[in-house]
Structure 1
Amino acid sequence: MSDEIDVAATLAALRAEVRAQRARLPNLEPTPAERELQRVVEELEYTRVVSAHWPLEGRTPLEKIIAFINKVVRRYLRWYINPIVEQQNAFNDTAARAIRLLVAENAALRAELAALHAQLQQSQPLS
């Protein structure tokens, strides 16, 4: 008795099953608006975190002096700036989470609508 599994046959069967299930599902291709929404959500993730400590560098001696002064000023204003940045980051996190939940809910409603359309088409006789 052989305990070996035919991987190629198993993969072929799985692929056939996936194709059959996809054929039964309604078309769920994203619309241009949904693709744009997904792009915006990805962009939101890139810009969600605000930093109060961007690097300050200078190329010329004057720019280096100005950068040093700015670093000193930042250090002394940290008590004032950091709470504002933390509040902004907290708001950004909450807003980003809310938008992701709305996008997920939109996708669920879209899938439900497609299923209802498919169900309606199956119940109507073809003329």
Structure 2
Amino acid sequence: MTRRPFPLAVPPELRAYILDFHWDLGLLHALDLPVVELPAAALADHLALPFWAYAGEPFQVTPRQVAADPVTYREQYERTLAADLRHPVDVVRRPDGRITILDGVHRLLRAELEHREVLAVRVLGWDELDLIAVRD
């Protein structure tokens, strides 16, 4: 059985961040992963990438755009304010050492808006990706 490919066309600027296969958030949340503290600045590059949908279209708006214009991007801004920072951000550590957020970009933006310097993160190893993969 093979991993199911990611179902959407990914913009070039996100290809280094988005996994190339479909994965399951429930499987990720069910894992007992180590929690560590990480400087929020180590994840700040995610805030400049168009992860979020706007007007029903995926990959249209960056978290920084949402923060700069909460009226226009009200839905994403409200999701950001509702993000619960008691829950760690889920990340994967890539073979080259880069850390990519799997779940928690709204929490990262909220942490930035609140000037938090440190975030709790759960770290999934690159060799553990099959644990969250959706299979064909």
TM-score of the aligned structures, taking structure 1 as reference length: 0.22
Q: Which has the higher helix share?
A: 1
- Larger-Rg structure: 1
TM-score of the aligned structures, taking structure 2 as reference length: 0.22
Q: Which has the higher strand share?
A: 2
